[in-house]
A and B are shown apart, each in its own frame.
Chain A
Amino acid sequence: MEDDPTDFSREPKVPADDVIAEQPNIASNPPTFENQVEQAVQAQASAVANQHQVATQSQHSPMAEAAVSQFQRVQTQAAQAFRPLTNSVWSKLDRKATAVTEFTLRQYRTKNSTWVVLGIGMVFVAMILMFYGEAMSSGFDSVDNDGDSHDYDGDGYPTGQERIYGTNPWDENSHPDPELVAPDPPEKWIDEDGIDWDGDYSNPNQGYDDDGDCTGAGWVDSQSFELPVNQDTNRDGIDCNVRYTMNSTTKTIYLIKADPSVDEDPDDEEFLKESLHRAFVLGFGKIGFAFLIGIFVPLFLATGLVRDEMERGTLHYIMGKPIARAEILAYRLLGYIALVWPYATVLILLTATVTGFLAPSDSIFRFHDLSAWLGVLLASWLMMLAYGTIFCTLGVISPRFGLWIAIGFGVWEFAMAMISLGAPNFPLTWLSVSHWGIEIINCTSVLAYPDQSYLIEIASMNDDWGSEAALAGFYSPPSVVAGSPFASLLISIFVLALFTIFALFIGQSSLKRKELN
């Protein structure tokens, strides 16, 4: 720091150009950038040549020394001449970025509104998690869908067991010999015919009659009157199977039609919990994280990023520095991102962990939800970025009405989110941020749960559950590129990035033209 503004004992600062003028060898050229660069290059070349000479002569040459020192002088002068350019663009870009970002973060820390907004989000998530835990820990009564666990005639043998042995389940005196066959407990005949689906979307012939009450397999009397008369009610030419009408490209199941008494008594609790759990992951991911937190946090934290500074009259402290206005907007947003992305990550990881332990699973922790939660995380990050940029830009464009326009925009986004849930192909929703965020979750949820539409169809087969409404309401297959969740995912990310860049561009050009009164 040879130029100390406050060191008053030194000589007044001499402009760099005058210094150059004092150098006799370069005084002939006007001190332009090009000349200085040329001189620097020449000096370097001569210095290298001299050094080479020194090496060959292997002795100290005063000429080389002079050339080197001359080179260093010119280099210093050139650096000085380039100061404005290098200072403001390349070499110091990251320093300014970190300075503004850090400042923004520290400013957030001092504002009560930050803590209130983040705290409300935290409480909201905690409450939803408590409801979820309550739902998962309470058991569901398993339903005996086919009624064969009942002992209608009161002889001690459940109907299913009596059918196997060919005795009359309606006749008290007709039952297997108690000395040879002990009566089954009724629970054995509940949930005994589970759904057998091999997950193959190209195979319409599915299903297996586990308890044999369609095929009569294993029954003593294979021509029992208890067997169905027509074993192919779904008319696919195969007896005792389940016919799946599916689209193997989009992995969508349209219809499941079972022959009588096939796959008719699955484990209700397993399916109900699974379906409720997935409805929770999708519903909370889409509405809770991506939409509600994704829009309210930016609304309160990003709208005032530049606007508040403009209103308070403190923006000039930052803008009076050699930093482009457009950069200030970008770095302020960077500070916002540095706050809200970790926040969203913490909330989503917390939810993923809690639900991972509580969700129905074979192991202690349910890992295969994680990719769905990663999708939620990705969606919420991108939506927070897009909304934040849009709201910040609205604040710049109209400091007075920006917040109201932002709220109006939020209402539009809410409407589009609701439409996207029900009708993802409705073209108007493509103009909203929320549609693309929800689409990201759709794509990743298909990757996490490839049997999603199957579960929904199964749920609607057993219409006494009522939970299919929840899952079906929150799930829709990727709609941008049908049948390709990866392509849909990439397009959604791209579109959200496009929204962000567009909003940033508008905000930057608006800020560039703003007068700071």
Chain B
Amino acid sequence: MIPDLSQVGTAETQEWAPVAEAPHIMLDHVTKTYGSVMGLNDVSIAIKGGVTGILGQNGAGKSTLFKLIVGRLQPSSGNVHLFGTNPFKNPAPYSRIGYVSESEHLYDWMTGLDFVATLARLYGYTRDEAKEKALHVLDFVGLSDVANKEIGKYSKGMRQRVKIAHALVNEPDLIILDEPLAGCDPLARTTIMNVVRELGATGKTVLVSSHILSEIERITEQIMILHNGRLLALGNLHAIRELLDKHPHRILLRTDDPRGLGTAFLPHKDVYGVRFPNSDELVVETNNLSSVHQALPSICHQSGIRVTAIENPDDNLESLLGYLIEGRS
């Protein structure tokens, strides 16, 4: 039992103390390759405060980014700073972060309470403190009634939430959630989204990744889009949407009489075409999404045709990416 003291606290070259002015996360020209596969390509960001959504398709580098931030991986080139120190060499800043990995594996033989309390003790809490805190966070994520049940018997949504609970137990300043909504049912999604929003509201820095635009949209406005390991866009979602609105866009309406409704839409100045992919579907094509959306209720009302559903098929990550990549080239 020889604890390696060189790795703790006074690590490597610099002393570590929480620097208030430092960004919580800073990546300086970070590149990560797995053999010949590019995981992350020359990404530079600095994040402090608020909820940031990381958007990207599978393999875009979201998890790689998070693993670099929490010190699971070393960058191939560039520097990663977590609270001003290298997270791969120095585990001290881990006391201020909570990390929910995308890994589905948990210790199925433990109860939810055991899991959270045992890991809480690694922050240096006593047994009693850890249990108290674990019960508190389990209550916060809505698992208090199953706290004494084995994790193996949990549903998918409960498993995600117990992972989130374990990441909150140390009162972190920075919370990193890797695909927290993946595979959850709508109820669990809503619970988790509320949890994330509440965390953001307390002034904590939250990073949350997803490949579904609408999910992120419900959580935060500040987004970061990764594509093929590159940082594609960083900023306010509305600003990006504004750009998108000026782009050819489609609205899908489900109705009994698509042709009649299509006729009603055509006079609108921004509608340049209608299509009928199915007998009960109408697709309106436009160059200005918001103006058509504003006019949509009155058109439907005036035509007197029953509309059962309105969808935005272009309102997803793929079309956003398509637009961004196109716009860049």
A interface residues, Cβ below 8 angstroms from B = 1, 3-6, 8, 10, 12-13, 15-18, 32-33, 81, 83-85, 87-89, 91-93, 95-100, 102-103, 106-107, 110, 312-314, 316-327, 330-331, 333-334, 501, 504-505, 508, 512, 515-517
Contact = CB atoms under 8 A, between A and B. Distances in A.
Contact of B17 (A8, A84, A106, A331): A84
Interface of B: 1-5, 7-10, 15-20, 34, 67, 70, 72-74, 91-95, 97, 99, 101, 103, 105-107, 109-110, 118-119, 121-126, 129, 132-133, 136-137, 140, 166, 168, 170-173, 198-199, 201-204
Contacts of B170: 5
A313 B15 CA distance: 31
Given A18-B20, A84-B17, A515-B73, A95 B7 contact: no
Given A6-B136, A8-B198, A15-B18, A321 B92 contact: no
Contact of A324 (B3, B18, B201): B3
Question: Which applies to chain B's interface (DSSP): helix, strand, loop or mixed?
Answer: loop
A330 B3 contact: yes
Nearest to B141: A6
B116 to A, nearest CB: 10
Given A314-B105, A323-B8, A515-B72, 18 more contacts: A1-B133, A5-B199, A6-B137, A6-B168, A13-B202, A13-B204, A18-B20, A84-B95, A316-B101, A319-B72, A321-B122, A322-B95, A324-B5, A324-B7, A324-B91, A505-B2, A508-B4, A517-B34
Given A12-B203, A321-B94, A517-B67, A84 B9 contact: yes
Interface-centre pick from A313, A322, A505 (highest chain B CB count, 10 A) = A322
Given A1-B133, A5-B202, A12-B202, A326 B7 contact: yes
- 7 shortest interchain CB distances as A-B pairs: A12-B203, A92-B124, A326-B4, A99-B121, A321-B122, A322-B95, A5-B171
A313 B67 CA distance: 12
Contacts of B7: 324-326, 512
A110 B105 contact: no
9 contacts: A17-B18, A89-B5, A102-B118, A314-B105, A320-B70, A320-B94, A322-B91, A516-B67, A517-B72
B140 A6 contact: yes
Contacts of A3: 171
A87 to B, nearest CB: 5
Contacts of B4: 324-327, 508, 512
A254 B229 CA distance: 78
A516 B95 contact: no
B130 to A, nearest CB: 8
Contacts of B94: 320-323
B113 to A, nearest CB: 13
Contacts of A326: 2-4, 7
A33 B15 contact: yes
B136 A4 contact: yes
Nearest to A83: B95
B8 A88 contact: yes
A19 to B, nearest CB: 10
A85 B10 contact: yes
Contact of A87 (B118, B124, B133): B124
Nearest to A511: B4
B151 to A, nearest CB: 11
B188 to A, nearest CB: 18
Contacts of A92: 123-124
A335 B123 CA distance: 19
A414 to B, nearest CB: 29
Contacts of A106: 109-110
A306 to B, nearest CB: 14
Nearest to B173: A13
Given A89-B8, A317-B119, A81 B2 contact: no
A324 B6 CA distance: 9
A351 B2 CA distance: 33
A511 to B, nearest CB: 10
A99 B95 contact: no
Given A96-B121, A321-B122, A313 B103 contact: yes
Nearest to B140: A6
A16 B8 contact: no
Nearest to B136: A6
B1 A515 contact: no
A99 B97 CA distance: 20
Contacts of A515: 72-74
Contacts of B17: 32-33, 81, 84
Given A4-B171, A319-B72, A322-B94, A95 B125 contact: yes
Contacts of A323: 8, 91, 94, 122
B3 A325 contact: no
A517 B64 CA distance: 9
Nearest to A10: B202
Contact of B168 (A1, A5, A12, A504): A5
A514 B72 CA distance: 8
A512 B8 CA distance: 12
A488 to B, nearest CB: 26
A454 B123 CA distance: 61
Residue of B1, B101, B166 with most chain A CB atoms under a 10 A cut-off: B1
Nearest to B9: A85
A382 to B, nearest CB: 15
A142 to B, nearest CB: 55
Contacts of B132: 1
Nearest to B132: A1
Given A322-B122, A325-B7, A516-B73, A84 B18 contact: yes
A427 to B, nearest CB: 29
Q: Which of B7, B119, B125 has the most CB of A within 10 A?
A: B7
B122 A318 contact: yes
B1 A334 contact: yes
Interface-central residue, B74, B97, B103, B106, by most chain A CB under 10 Å: B103
Nearest to A3: B171
A16 B170 CA distance: 17
A318 to B, nearest CB: 7
A84 B15 CA distance: 11
Nearest to B201: A8
A93 B3 contact: yes
A384 to B, nearest CB: 15
B179 to A, nearest CB: 14
A92 B121 CA distance: 9
A321 B137 contact: no
A85 B92 contact: yes
B70 A87 contact: no
Nearest to A32: B17
B3 A110 contact: no
Contacts of B91: 88, 319, 321-325
A93 to B, nearest CB: 6
Contacts of A4: 136, 171
Nearest to B101: A316
Given A12-B202, A15-B20, A100-B122, A88 B107 contact: no
A6 to B, nearest CB: 4
